[in-house]
Chains A and B, each alone.
Chain A
């Protein structure tokens, strides 16, 4: 039997952070395994719909960034068409964007690199500030040989790449945003979106998995472990299934 420790008191601040909902109450486990129906938590599936984090001003910039990090080619879409920006939009609007669960007590002191990031900003705040700084940098034509008055998305691909190299190397001054750190985060997030299960909004039609030959969420390779140096023949599947399994769906 598993029954919550019944106490109706107002939650204390200290405990609040740890409580995720009705099921997330302290419990007593005795006599049998505490299994209860309908307590599983399947992953939230990203649905198409309005942008939840990015503003209309930010979108062209982040989409262009995604396409320079993962450029389209004749066989595989780039970051934008693969859905990496949709992925990032939902991530930034959710727990990741608000740094949920991380240690956020001060003081915030910059230490040695080996001591890890010490920013008081959440990823959502960082993206907001960085995208604005990138746009401003471009419009002011601050890079050498860069045109004035253009948004990042309007630059030629080579000029965009030059900007990215500047961020990567930390040579672009982004008024208050740590360019290098932001670039590391951006790179990670876009590539995460490209390779994560398509239920999160990126890797559309499992394009990234098809590109490399990863079969996805298949769970059983017993017949294959001893078959050496042979190409695995089956197409990938997602946690959400595969289009030809559910032909009537969207």
Chain B
């Protein structure tokens, strides 16, 4: 029997980036808020202090800070004709777990999307005509614009202390920044991080080719910073153990280093860790959420009743909870009906690993931060004419190498054996003078009718509930995009003086064993029409108005940037709508 807790104004599922933002905004509005988090409390002092945070085996290879598949996993197949099989150990992406969510171990590459990304279908149709888009591509406009989100991007950047160089300040294009970005109301709160050698050379080479390189916006701090909530961070020390790792220096923006010290001390906030929400409860009408049910580590079931339910559990868990709670119409790709599970996307990334003359180049790859790097944006979104190329979309590219951790980053030139004396010699010769950006080409993935989420007919989780099934493959549009971008990227390394290059194009079929960011998007998307979206433009469920679903699950398709800047901007945007409109008159904020 579930034990019932006292009612709260708001219950939040998941205390990662979005959960922390929403909790802070709504406690500020005077509401009683409870957050329920599946994983443990995490903090630098106990979980990743600087005396052992730099442990590649523990955190990168055995990924200690992440969810274990035994707790929950997914099944996967490329095509609808295949049988989905379970992801037994993580590969293509790695789901966060624990207070702070992905914020604990992200790189902190903190981007904004382009203004045209938010009106994608309209924009591309106007510029190229509807017939330019593949027939089964299901991209949509978001229902919200860049101009509407700008103040919210700004709030997140000032919360995090993001380091960067503005490229478009209120319409004025500034030298050294990204000239393609949407207009920003003010400069970044902190100057860019200084760049290591190979990153600097990349920018020089890009400039000689006529591009306009700029420092990647970084949430690893270039200097000490005190944010508007009064929480402090220290300067980054370029330790080279950032993404996959927690920061022992309090210099990477995360809920722990920006929000939680203030939030946790508020009298109207309570959080529970190691408690997994298993269901969103509905009243008999099915149109009103009454709270959530969760299970603690002893197996005890609890019920947390609340007037407002915010699902902030990360893309794919957001969709999982909606499906397992029978909220919204499940997507059916054959009939092309339904919304829950629709427009699921990931990222189209690739890399070029380059080898330079060791006598001339010492790159010291171990000196880096998670979001360091010099990038160009000439080939992102619709920043270039796609007409001659026959594809849409694009991405940023850059020397964004974050580390020289030797298990992961000991590249050898193409043609070298994978083991033996020659391999050993090649590792030794090339370590200090090779470049391996990791996600050097960071391309968009647009949505398709046959890329989606549903429930698996066979495999079950530990509670006996069906696993979510992923059906995903690359389509020609993305493969063409990647080939074009990877070739442009390699030209820059060539201009830098590389002796040899390994162009690692993205290839189909999509491989669930090959890590390609944890930027899963879609599945419960926002929009203007309840027939083709699960949420309205405020991330409010069309079906259950006292339910908001926050995260990249709301992206109708994925752009050529890392998602979290936009995820956080949507979180603030949604919080503002709740504070200024929903609380005055609870009910649908948009009438369909």
Contacts and interface: CB of A to CB of B under 8 A. Distances in A.
A218 interface: yes
Interface string B57-93: 1100110000011110100111000110111110100
Contacts of B194: 225-226
Interface in A29-57: 29-35, 39-43
Given A114-B78, A164-B419, A34 B509 contact: no
Contacts of B261: 33
Contact of A221 (B265, B367, B419): B367
A12 to B, nearest CB: 3
Interface in B220-261: 235, 237-241, 248-249, 260-261
Contact of A239 (B55, B240, B361): B55
Contacts of A156: none
A12 B248 contact: no
Given A105-B460, A214-B431, A230-B364, 12 more contacts: A5-B296, A25-B297, A31-B264, A40-B46, A43-B55, A102-B88, A112-B82, A114-B513, A215-B366, A222-B235, A225-B238, A228-B196
Ordered nearest first, which 3 A-B pairs have the shortest CB separation? A12-B299, A101-B68, A26-B296
Contact of B459 (A9, A40, A105): A105
B419 A214 contact: no
Contact of A14 (B49, B88, B237, B463): B463
A103 interface: yes
B197 A7 contact: no
Contacts of B428: 76, 211-212
B238 A221 contact: yes
A49 B421 CA distance: 30
A115 B297 contact: no
30 contacts: A12-B298, A14-B295, A14-B463, A18-B297, A25-B296, A27-B41, A27-B272, A29-B41, A29-B264, A29-B271, A30-B270, A32-B264, A32-B265, A33-B261, A43-B58, A69-B420, A95-B62, A102-B88, A103-B70, A109-B85, A114-B511, A116-B512, A168-B418, A191-B419, A196-B57, A200-B57, A211-B424, A213-B432, A222-B235, A222-B238
A220 interface: yes
B57, B61, B91, B239: residue with the most chain A Cβ atoms closer than 10 Å: B57
A92 to B, nearest CB: 13
Interface in A92-115: 95-96, 100-105, 107, 109, 111-115
A102 B68 contact: yes
Given A76-B424, A212-B427, A222-B237, A26 B460 contact: no
Contacts of B295: 14-15
A208 B406 contact: yes
Given A9-B300, A103-B86, A212-B410, A40 B45 contact: yes
Contacts of B431: 212-214
B498 interface: no
A43 B52 contact: yes
A195 B362 CA distance: 20
Main secondary structure of the interface of A (DSSP, over half): loop
Given A105-B459, A214-B366, A229 B270 contact: no
B491 interface: no
Given A33-B43, A116-B89, A212-B410, A28 B70 contact: no
B300 A5 contact: yes
A33 B83 contact: no
B50 interface: yes
B200 interface: yes
Given A112-B78, A117-B88, A212 B271 contact: no
Interface in B10-46: 40-41, 43, 45-46
A19 B374 CA distance: 43
A197 B55 contact: yes
Contacts of B273: 26-27, 29
A71 interface: yes
Contacts of A220: 237-239
B195 to A, nearest CB: 8
B76 A115 contact: yes
B269 interface: yes
Interface residues on B, range: 35 or more
Interface in A218-236: 218-222, 224-226, 228-232
A114 B509 contact: yes
B76 A116 contact: yes
A214 B56 CA distance: 13
Contact of A219 (B54, B88, B459, B510): B54
Contacts of B459: 105
Contact of B88 (A9, A26, A70, A104): A104
A27, A209, A218, A230: residue with the most chain B Cβ atoms closer than 10 Å: A27
B334 interface: no
Contact of B73 (A18, A103, A215): A103
A111 B362 contact: no
B55 A25 contact: no
A11 B298 contact: yes
A192 interface: yes
B400 interface: no
Contacts of B89: 102-103, 116-117
B274 A27 contact: yes
A5 B304 CA distance: 14
Contact of A118 (B62, B68, B85, B270): B85
A226 B199 CA distance: 11
B215 interface: no
B463 A102 contact: no
A195 B237 contact: no
B49 A40 contact: yes
Nearest to B78: A114
B489 to A, nearest CB: 22
B164 interface: no
B298 A195 contact: no
Nearest to A232: B364
Given A101-B68, A104-B88, A114-B513, A35 B45 contact: yes
B462 A218 contact: no
B40 A24 contact: yes
Contacts of B87: 103, 116
A229 B270 CA distance: 51
B88 A18 contact: no
A28 B274 contact: no
B154 to A, nearest CB: 28
B70 A196 contact: no
Nearest to B269: A30
Interface in B323-349: none
B404 interface: yes
A74 to B, nearest CB: 11
